[in-house]
Amino acid sequence: MSSCMHPDNDQTINPSGNTSIRDVMAAYTGRRNFLKGSLGAAAVMTLGGFGRDAMAYTTPSSSPAITFTGVPANLAATFTDKITVPAGYTAKVLIGWGDAIGRTGPAANAHWDASGAMTEAVQLTTFGAHNDGMHFFPFPAVGAQGESNDRGLLVVNHEYVDPGLVHNTTSYSTDTITKAMVDTQLAAHGVSVIEVRKNKGEMQVQRPSAFARRITGKTPCRISGPAAGHALMKTAADPSGSVVLGTLNNCAHGYTPWGTYLTCEENFNGYFGTTPAQLASAPLTNLERRYGLSAGGFGYRWHEADPRFDLRATPNEANRFGWVVEIDPWNPNAIPVKRTALGRFKHESAGYAVGDDNTVAVYMGDDERNEYVYKFVCANKYNPRNRAANRDLLDSGTLYVARFNADGTGVWLPLVFGQNGLTPANGFSSQADVLINTRAAADRVGATMMDRPEWVAVHPTTREVYITLTNNNRRGTSPASVNAADGSTTAASARPPVDASNPRRDNRYGHILRWKEANNDVGATTFEWDIFVECGDKLATAPHLQGNIIGDDLGAPDGLWFDQDGRLWIQTDQQGDGLGDWANIGGNVMSCADPVTRRITRFMTSPRNCEVTGVISTPDGKTMFVGIQHPGEDWSGSFTARSTWPDSGVNGATTQKTVAKPRSSVVVITKDDGGVIGT
Ligand code: FEO
Ligand code: CA
Ligand code: CA
Ligand code: CA
């Protein structure tokens, strides 16, 4: 997103200078097939091949069926403010911001009051704002073995809010901020658990439901794992360092083989702030700077009314965010648990793989320019026969960070106190220190800086892991630090150079990378990788912007998910109006890729100024849930100028609210003949 108030990873704060192509070449010269022949580094980079042995990485052998006819791009000149899906498919709104989740309570389906302002009371019984990652947990099938395709729990993240939309104000940046306003915004964050059920063949929200739940920015969460109770986790309100109120910036997600949901805290730094005067007397610490904390945050201004979000009034509160949080959707009273063993960073998503011996690995990305890719391997094995035995599996294990070598191999570097320089001499006194400042630990061990890691997706049969690297405009000093679009120049020292796994300077359109573990062992410490696709615009004049997509162009890949048959669904988060760099690509999309042929076909286009994020289906693949986030986004407050989706009456929504606002929503996509989505 491009809003000034929501910079969306718009900072470069990794000071480590890790892993340039020169370091990699120095370290790995002479390894397997490295720089075949006598080509020098510059020559190889010009060819774009980096000398890697492309044949070493083998793909799954058979393509999934992908037989739909792709839809045209939603180009700016003819932009339609709705979802378009292929002929023979229907997209219909299931639930949107402010719709009842199926709990009783005050104004359970009021959306907002007559003035257009959302209230905390309404928000606590209704669907939160700006939905993002989600998962479908099926009920057991009725009268048969297996899982239901007709009934389940849909668990959905609510990443952030647009305060102007929440309070129906066009002057939020200068309005007086009250505690009630902060509480309302906190209530719009977090997670929704809703029950969905087929009624006369159509998937609908079950209201009321005993499972319906809102977890918010104020819901007590237990802190567990090695960082629990550490001095940096303690506050005056929680001297034990073991209970924090709420979860924030729940971007993408994961789930576990034992049936729990993982919600990932991403840009938590944006909610904290303080006064310049306070910072003058107590400057930002290295820890705070490494996570992008600042006096102004992203402009939420919560610290003006709630000292919990004031970096100097409650200096450790920010340390209690940036974690992966485990939620049991089947128990509405279960306390969410922040699993500190998985590290603290701007978590995007968490994708698991289970090995032949029931070892569990969780793959994760840190979404900021020039940050890292991580893996957590549980110390204890998954027990498929005893759900309770897996309850605290995520509390002990080894966190690794990835180094992508130039020859197509990679290494998982352990982030373990006492190893690889993670010692008191370098500022780490315990594993808790390593985890609270995961980024600094990863800097220390020499991880590879990546082009903004977003979602991970694990192939359902091969265990290959794919990751979206959405874009990076702070990459590449070669051949010159000149921005091709606007002619601006940047000092060479400010940008990491391109490398094999992030091969393009000014990586405007992003790429998708994949790896597989040595011996297909999820606990392995080495892997092989390749670049699945470089996204781009075939019509771009600059060669490095054209990409190598076979099929329909896209850029800024973000959401990523393998369905049950191995189709790779790619969702994009770029400038959602199809203007500028997107003139040939159009608005945001969900496309479908064949992991064998690499062909990409556009399945869905989206309303104006939204992003497409969140995708899951029922186990049979016949009912797909897809998220539309921030339609019409414009933090200046002209809410309906860009989008009136969905309440304009498209995509199955007909109800005009008392005060019209575009609303983030989840849609259900079905095939009209009842078939599997994508075929
Ligand atoms: Fe919330 Fe990295 O997207
Ligand atoms: Ca994302
Ligand atoms: Ca994104
Ligand atoms: Ca996003």
SS (H, E, C) 597-653: CCEEEEEEECCCCCEEEEEEECCCCCEEEEEEECCCCCCCCCHHHHCCCCCCCCCCC
Quote the number of domains for the chain: 1
251 CA closest ligand 1 atom index:
1
* pLDDT at 106 (0 to 100): 58
Tell whether 278 is covered by a domain: no
Tell whether 9 is covered by a domain: no
CA of 162 to the centre of ligand 4 (A): 14
Q: Residue 663 maps to which CATH number?
A: 2.120.10.30
Q: Is the pLDDT of residue 105 over 80?
A: no
Cβ 376 vs Cβ 400: under 8 Å = yes
249 CA closest ligand 1 atom index:
1
CA 645-650-651 angle, to 5 degrees, is 100
* pLDDT at 471 (0 to 100): 97
Cβ 616 vs Cβ 592: under 8 Å = no
Pick the ligand that lies closest to the CA of residue 664. 4
For ligand 1, atom 1, the nearest C-alpha belongs to: 251
Q: Is the pLDDT of residue 354 over 70?
A: yes
Closest residue by Cα to residue 161 from 355, 375, 5, 377: 5
Q: What is the C-alpha R_g of the chain?
A: 24
348 CA closest ligand 1 atom index:
2
Mean pLDDT across 392-398: 98
Which residues form the pocket of ligand 1, taking CB atoms under 6 Å from any ligand atom? Answer: 159, 251, 266, 348, 367, 454
CA of 490 to the centre of ligand 4 (A): 26
Tell whether 95 is covered by a domain: yes
CA of 348 to the centre of ligand 1 (A): 6
Closest residue by Cα to residue 381 from 392, 370, 393, 396: 393
CA of 592 to the centre of ligand 1 (A): 20
* pLDDT at 110 (0 to 100): 72
452 CA closest ligand 1 atom index:
2
Element holding 164 (H helix, E strand): helix 163-167
Cβ 309 vs Cβ 302: under 8 Å = yes
The pocket of ion ligand 2, defined by CB under 5 A, consists of 454, 558
Within a 10 A sphere around the Cβ of 460, how many other Cβ atoms? Answer: 15
Tell whether 677 is covered by a domain: no
Tell whether 507 is covered by a domain: yes
DSSP state, 336? P
* Widest distance between CA atoms in the chain: 73
CA of 611 to the centre of ligand 4 (A): 7
Buried b / exposed e along 192-226 (16+ C-beta atoms within 10 A)? bbbbbbbeeeebebbbebebbbbbbbbbebbbbbb
Tell whether 271 is covered by a domain: no
* pLDDT at 426 (0 to 100): 97
pLDDT in tens, 594-636: 999 999 999 999 999 999 999 999 999 999 999 999 999 987 7
Token pair of 675 as six digits: 């078939």
Cβ 157 vs Cβ 134: under 8 Å = yes
367 CA closest ligand 1 atom index:
2
Q: What is the residue range of 502's domain? A: 21-266+322-671
User: Which residues touch 525 (CB under 8 Å, ≥6 apart)?
Assistant: 400, 411, 412, 414, 518
**Least trusted range by pLDDT, from 484-488, 546-550, 610-614, 641-645:** 484-488
CA of 427 to the centre of ligand 3 (A): 32
CA of 130 to the centre of ligand 4 (A): 10
266 CA closest ligand 1 atom index:
1
Tell whether 301 is covered by a domain: no
Amino acid at 102: G
> What is the C-alpha end-to-end distance of the chain, expressed in Å?
32
* pLDDT at 186 (0 to 100): 99
Pick the ligand that lies closest to the CA of residue 470. 3
pLDDT in tens, 243-252: 999 999 999 9
Closest residue by Cα to residue 670 from 612, 626, 605, 608: 626
Tell whether 615 is covered by a domain: yes
Question: Where does the pLDDT of residue 109 fall: very low under 50, low under 70, confident under 90, or very high at 90 and above?
Answer: low
User: What's the predicted TM-score (pTM) here?
Assistant: 0.92
* pLDDT at 145 (0 to 100): 83
- Beta strand 347-354 with 568-572 is unpaired
The mean pLDDT value of the chain amounts to: 90
